Amino acid sequence: MFLYMLIFLAYHSSRWIQRSKRLKFQIVNVVFTVLVLGPQFYVIGRPKSSRYCSQPLLSNLSASIALSFIAAGFSVIFTVIDPVPQSLWAALHVFGLLTCGHGLCTTVLTLTAASCVRNRLKYYN
């Protein structure tokens, strides 16, 4: 739901700015995208991340990266198009349901990955 909130905030924040001056807002949008995607790429790029846990946490992280790219696209589209068509709003709400489901899956996977902490400590010691 965090990504859905970012899109929603980008849309409403961009409406306060005149259409001709939204380029600066697009630059801020790119900075937020980098801030969201940067840590995810750092974790997935580490060579030891997938070795010590049987939970599909890296698959979940890959899905999170894909959803982050989709959210970046939505935020750009929503700040450029004025007025936004109803079909795009419907797609955004479907995306919101997907991110809600992904958040629930992330919560469940994280709560059931307690054994991964013990394995990680054995792996590094």
**pTM for the structure as a whole:** 0.80
Question: Which of 101, 116, 11, 114 has the alpha carbon at shortest distance from 64?
Answer: 101
Per-residue pLDDT of the chain (125 residues; tens, 9 = 90+): 788 888 888 888 888 878 777 777 788 888 888 888 898 888 888 776 555 566 777 888 889 999 999 999 998 888 888 888 999 999 999 999 999 999 999 888 888 877 676 655 454 54
Question: What is the C-alpha separation between 95 and 51, in angstroms, rounded?
Answer: 31
Q: Per-domain residue ranges for the chain? A: 2-124
Residue written as tokens 């394995």? 119
Question: Which of 121, 77, 109, 95 has the alpha carbon at shortest distance from 2?
Answer: 95
Residue 57 in 3-state DSSP?
A: helix
Question: What is the C-alpha separation between 23 and 109, in angstroms, rounded?
Answer: 39
